């Protein structure tokens, strides 16, 4: 069955001042899939990921050409409200970044900003988001303790719950497990596999094992170019391009 496209990147180029970091990228992300972006350091993975919810707009030297179509609109159209966009296309970072508040307040942060006051509703969102992020059982009795008291892996799952609480469609994850120990990383990977039933996920990873374990599709990037994009099995078992083959066999990067 044809997969449903959620977001399409068309001829996207991005400069930091004069440095070209993305060169005419074309790719489509599909619903309920995990798409991995791989490639050596500096190839533009994080830049591409951050372009998908316009995080690069926060950098004054950035210029962008091309388009990213989401729900029939170019997200770079001046009419798009980036605050709303970043709720629909949420982001989880490499370093878990909980706010210095309770676990509960971390999860409801986005809803409080929207002015939601209904306690029963907030309680429900907290429970559902923490359950979906695979951490409810560990924190349900300490919801009002500081999130900073949790382990790194638990903090990362609370950050995932914070993203889920505002009901996103797409979750962008920039090396979400690289700061975690292997057991915590495995819990986050399990969480991602659960989440893809309801969400679409794009992940930047340095770990080819991680990409091959959890992603449905993999994009290999080099020097700002998208070299090859295919289902993950094909990329790892039968790459079409020599550069892809060299990278996955560890010849560089």
Ligand X SMILES: Nc1ncnc2c1ncn2[C@@H]1O[C@H](COP(=O)(O)OP(=O)(O)OP(=O)(O)O)[C@@H](O)[C@H]1O
Q: What is the DSSP letter of 142?
A: -
Q: How far is the CB of 1 from ligand X (least distance, A)?
A: 33
Closer by beta carbon to ligand X, 152 or else 253: 253
Contacting range for ligand X; rule: CB under 6 A; set: 34-42, 66-74, 114-122, 226-234: 34-42
Contacting range for ligand X; rule: CB under 6 A; set: 45-53, 108-116, 145-153, 240-248: 45-53
The two three-digit tokens of residue 215, written as one number: 């992603």
149 binds ligand X per the rule CB under 6 A: no
Contact (CB, 8 A) for 198 and 226 = no
Q: How far is the CB of 42 from ligand X (least distance, A)?
A: 4
- In angstroms, the CA 179 to CA 62 distance is 27
Query: 41, 71, 72, 197: which one contacts ligand X (CB under 6 A)?
Result: 41
47 binds ligand X per the rule CB under 6 A: yes
- In angstroms, the CA 218 to CA 220 distance is 7
Terminal C-alpha separation, the chain: 35
99 binds ligand X per the rule CB under 6 A: no
- In angstroms, the CA 46 to CA 41 distance is 10
Site for ligand X (CB under 6 A): how many residues? 13
- Which of 66, 93, 70, 97 lies closest to 81 in space, CA to CA? 70
Q: How far is the CB of 12 from ligand X (least distance, A)?
A: 13
177 binds ligand X per the rule CB under 6 A: no
Q: How many residues are recorded in the chain? A: 253
Q: How many CA atoms lie within 13 A of 2 on its CB side?
A: 4
Query: 3, 5, 26, 59: which one contacts ligand X (CB under 6 A)?
Result: 59
Closer by beta carbon to ligand X, 105 or else 228: 228
16 binds ligand X per the rule CB under 6 A: yes
Q: How many CA atoms lie within 13 A of 228 on its CB side?
A: 19
141, 143, 211 from 242: Cα distances, Å: 53, 51, 19
Q: How far is the CB of 151 from ligand X (least distance, A)?
A: 24
Contacting range for ligand X; rule: CB under 6 A; set: 42-50, 76-84, 154-162, 187-195: 42-50
Q: Report CA 214 to chain centroid distance, whole Å.
A: 13
Closer by beta carbon to ligand X, 204 or else 226: 204
Query: 29, 34, 44, 211: which one contacts ligand X (CB under 6 A)?
Result: 44
């Amino acid at each position: 069955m044809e997969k449903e496209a959620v977001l399409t990147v068309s001829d996207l180029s991005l400069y930091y001042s004069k440095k070209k970091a993305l060169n005419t990228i074309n790719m489509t992300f599909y619903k309920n899939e995990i798409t991995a972006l791989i490639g050596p350091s500096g190839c533009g993975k994080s830049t591409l990921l951050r372009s998908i919810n316009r995080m690069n707009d926060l950098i004054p030297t950035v210029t962008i050409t091309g388009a990213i179509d989401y729900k029939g609109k170019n997200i770079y159209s001046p009419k798009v409200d980036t605050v709303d966009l970043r709720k629909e296309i949420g982001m989880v970072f490499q370093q878990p970044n909980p706010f210095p508040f309770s676990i509960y307040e971390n999860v409801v942060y986005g809803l409080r900003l929207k002015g939601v006051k209904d306690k029963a509703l907030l309680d429900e969102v907290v429970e559902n988001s923490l359950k979906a992020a695979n951490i409810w059982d560990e924190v349900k009795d300490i919801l009002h303790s500081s999130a900073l008291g949790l382990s790194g892996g638990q903090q990362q799952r609370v950050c995932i719950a914070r993203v889920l609480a505002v009901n996103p469609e797409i979750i962008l994850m920039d090396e979400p497990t690289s700061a975690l120990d292997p057991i915590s990383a495995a819990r986050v990977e399990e969480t991602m596999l659960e989440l893809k039933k309801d969400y679409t996920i794009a992940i930047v990873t340095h770990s080819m094992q991680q990409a091959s374990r959890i992603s449905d599709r993999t994009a290999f990037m080099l020097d700002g170019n998208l070299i090859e994009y295919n289902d993950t099995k094909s990329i790892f078992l039968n790459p079409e391009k020599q550069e892809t083959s060299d990278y996955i066999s560890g010849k560089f990067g």
